[in-house]
Amino acid sequence: MSLLTRTLRQQLKPSPLTRSTFSISRTTGKRTMASAPETEKFEWLVIMPDQPGKLAKRMEVRPSHFAGLKPKMDSGFWKMGGALLEEVPKEGEQMKMLGSAMVASASSKEELLEILKNDIYAKSEVWDLDKVQVYPFKCAFRIPHP
């Protein structure tokens, strides 16, 4: 290795705080920079309770809620989701919904909360955003729904 190459490597050595990595071409002596890695995603279990007395409003905006979820489902953000029920539904009776539970794949809790705030259930004050619970979630198994 030439003295010039050794000197350049020492001068261009990235600090521990630098995210990007550098390398020096053996033929040209020019430095190149690798792009920063994509932010790692993690799964999150989210529980969104409804505000009391909001079942009628929930049912009214439900089609818009599902339509709004679709792009994030297609992109892989939403992994699963559904309604939290007061009890197992009885034959011929309407489900008594208490809120929602979902699993998301997001880079941060903040990213997830921002998406929740823009959901029609949040904007229509169906979900009680003050009582939302968010937990990092490590799935042990996943069985496809029949």
Q: What pLDDT digit, counting tens, does each position of 55-68 carry?
A: 999 999 999 999 99
pLDDT in tens, 44-97: 999 999 999 999 999 999 999 999 999 999 999 999 999 999 999 999 998 999
The verdict on pTM exceeding 0.85 is no
Distance CA 52, CA 49 (A): 9
Pairing of strands 133-136, 42-49: antiparallel
Q: By percentage, how much of the chain surpasses pLDDT 70?
A: 74
CA distance 136 to 138: 7
Residues 6+ away with beta carbon under 8 Å from 79: 43, 102, 103, 104, 105
What average pLDDT is seen over the chain?
83
> Per the structure block, which two tokens stand in for 37?
């890695």
Radius of gyration, CA atoms only, the chain: 24
Residue range 22-41, pLDDT digits in tens: 444 455 555 555 554 567 99
Tokens of 63: 């089609």
